[in-house]
Structure 1
Amino acid sequence: MLQGKIALVTGASSGLGYQFALTLAAQGAAVAVAARSTDRLAELVTKIESCSGNAMAFSFDAAEAAAPDALIEAVAGSMGVPDILINNAGINLSARAHKATLDDFEQTMAVNVRAPWRLSQACATRWIEAGREGCIVNISSMLSTRVAKGVSLYTMSKAAIRHLTAGHALEWAKYGIRVNALCPGYIRTSINDTFWETEQGKAELAKLPRPRVGEPKDLDSALLFLVDPNSHFVNGEALTVDDAQSWAI
């Protein structure tokens, strides 16, 4: 489905990004994987190559203002300008609203909003100048339209991503650039895996319509739908994949 395409996935060293990279590579895309943890990226590249895929690792710290431009330049120089951008890198600095610090705010906005904004802009500029079409998928959250205690900065940043997605889609549609958002519900990753076994985690699960969390692979079909060239009429959409969890919050 994606033969001949180059895909860039940020935050690819673990969790959703790791799975996204495997999924895109399995569909024939050459995948540029980017994150701070280069050891895990090397492992991911090896895994993709062992399945006859094509991948290359790039160091990327989304908190650094200059990092997005440097990353696009590096990928373009080594693999070519990406056809697909998956803005997945993100952080969640949990803190009660009245205890969150200015540093918490600035770091959250830098990683979760500024980096996707600049990466999207850098790719779109190259696509427009070259007369090429392109595809962007921003990873938002089911909490982009809901709120929860202790994560107000995170929910604010993910709401911003929904509007960033819509705004970019509106302006760039005429150039053949599609921009959509994927909004996952609770997904089990290495970061939160142990939480779901705690009493608090079990209590959270009990509130859900179906007391379970998803696995990263549960997002595969939605991701592939959004990047599929046949989905050329899907633009500016925020696709929630959460097993109806958001309606219980």
Structure 2
Amino acid sequence: MTDLHGQIAIVTGASGGLGTRFAEVLGRHGAAVALAARRLDRLEALEGRLRAEGISCASFAFDAVDPSAPDALVAGVRSKLGAPTILVNNAGISLPGRAHENTLAEFEQTMAVNLRAPWRLSQLCASGWIADKTGGAIVNIASMLSERVGAGVSLYCMSKAALRHMTASHALEWARHGIRVNAICPGYIRTEINDSFWETERGKAELARLPRRRVGAPQDLDSALLFLCDPASSFVNGAAIAVDDAQSWAV
């Protein structure tokens, strides 16, 4: 029943996986959607599909590693679609590697994409909402590994834990301005990036460890996303909602 007509949503990492699904869901519930990612050709294909459904949208080249990219994105969205009212910080990376072997370059890239870009985009949107006295909603895509850890992905765990704490810090500071900041903490979700992994022996072993011996699909996050973007959820602020089929409790 969520009605997002009149809302303008930025979705980073929209060229595939969860980002594509988030853009589709928000658009189908009435929002105009700013599609942001590095792979502009895929964004433009998505834009064409959404426009064919009558959804207002626009594509923006966005490389989260570039420190100037958030400023350019927000300025571009304001110019093409109008002032954003929803921000979905979805773009993220995971660079596997043993903790004692991770390089400085890997650390900096992980933190740039998973933390610095969401921080700057949130700051830019919040500053505009405070100045305009309009309020807005931010949804950060964290992970079940923002609270527990996994071997071989320490950089990812660290960045997502920081993103989760940033969610709470921003919610506390900006609540008085009508700005809500929440996080979704997904479990294992099958996307094009990890699809082949689940057919390997290691992937099958991981599946066997999970409570229902299955992973989720992008659409399993729909209800959480809409709930957090819905203006009716005005008292939900600073939350980190686990959508993981109890995977985070598996030992």
Matches within 5 A, 1:119-138: 119-138=121-140
Tell me how far 1:51 sits from its aligned partner.
1.1
Write the letter of the residue equivalent to 2:163. Answer: I
Moved over 6 A (4+): none
Matches within 5 A, 1:162-201: 162-201=164-203
d(CA) in 2 for partners of 1:152 and 1:144? Answer: 10
Number of equivalences: 249
Q: Which residue of structure 2 lines up, in the alignment, with residue 61 of structure 1?
A: 63
d(CA) in 2 for partners of 1:69 and 1:163? Answer: 23
d(CA) in 1 for partners of 2:72 and 2:218? Answer: 28
d(CA) in 2 for partners of 1:68 and 1:187? Answer: 26
Give CA-to-partner distance per residue, 1:131-188, whole Å, 9 cap, x none. Answer: 1110000000000001111000000000001110000000000000000000000000
Q: Which residue of structure 2 lines up, in the alignment, with residue 242 of structure 1?
A: 244
Give CA-to-partner distance per residue, 1:25-79, whole Å, 9 cap, x none. Answer: 0000000000000011011111111111111000000001111011101111111
Write the letter of the residue equivalent to 1:242. Answer: D
Unaligned 5+ segments in structure 2 are: none
d(CA) in 1 for partners of 2:247 and 2:176? Answer: 35
When the two chains are superposed, the root-mean-square deviation of aligned CA atoms in Å is 0.5
Matches within 5 A, 1:78-227: 78-227=80-229
Give CA-to-partner distance per residue, 1:73-108, whole Å, 9 cap, x none. Answer: 111111111100000000000001011000000000
Tell me how far 1:3 sits from its aligned partner.
0.3
TM-score by length of 1: 0.99
TM-score by length of 2: 0.98
Residue 16 (str. 1) matches residue 22 (str. 2) = no
Write the letter of the residue equivalent to 2:233. Answer: S
d(CA) in 2 for partners of 1:217 and 1:6? Answer: 21
d(CA) in 1 for partners of 2:69 and 2:85? Answer: 19
d(CA) in 2 for partners of 1:60 and 1:148? Answer: 29
